[in-house]
C-alpha cells in the first residue's frame, strides 16, 4: 500500500504523525515529508487512520496492494 502526499496541502498539524510516527515522518517544520510513503506490511490499518485524521486531506491512499 502506498500513500500519496499532495504537494503543498500539508498544514503541519501533525495529526498523522501522532497516530503513526513510524509511517508519517515530519520535517523540522512539522510538515509531512513530501515523498510518497510505502506503508510496511501489517501497518495498513494504522496508515489509513492517519490518512483519515488529516484535516487538510493531504494524504491519499494510492493502492491497496
Ligand atoms: S495530518 Fe495532514 S496536515 Fe497534519 S502533518 Fe499530517 S499530512 Fe500534514
6-64 pLDDT, tens digit per residue, is 999 999 999 999 999 999 999 999 999 999 999 999 999 999 999 999 999 999 999 76
Sketch out the chain's domains with CATH numbers: 2-63 (3.30.70.20)
- Best of 7, 12, 34, 50 for a ligand 1 pocket test (most atoms within 8 Å of beta carbon): 12
Output the residue whose Cα is nearest ligand 1's atom 1.
54
Residue 63 confidence (pLDDT): 78
Residue 62 — φ and ψ, nearest 5°? -95, -40
Residue 23 — φ and ψ, nearest 5°? -95, -45
- Read off the pTM: 0.92
CA of 56 to the centre of ligand 1 (A): 7
- Starting at the earlier edge strand, list the strands of the sheet with 59-63: 37-38, 2-5, 59-63
Amino acid at each position: 500500500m502506498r500513500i500519496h502526499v499532495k504537494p503543498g496541502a500539508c498544514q503541519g498539524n501533525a495529526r498523522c504523525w501522532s497516530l503513526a510516527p513510524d509511517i508519517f515522518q515530519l520535517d523540522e517544520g512539522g510538515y509531512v515529508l513530501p515523498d510518497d510513503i510505502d506503508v510496511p506490511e501489517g501497518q495498513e490499518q494504522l496508515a489509513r487512520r492517519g490518512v483519515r485524521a488529516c484535516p487538510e486531506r493531504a494524504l491519499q491512499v494510492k493502492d491497496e496492494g
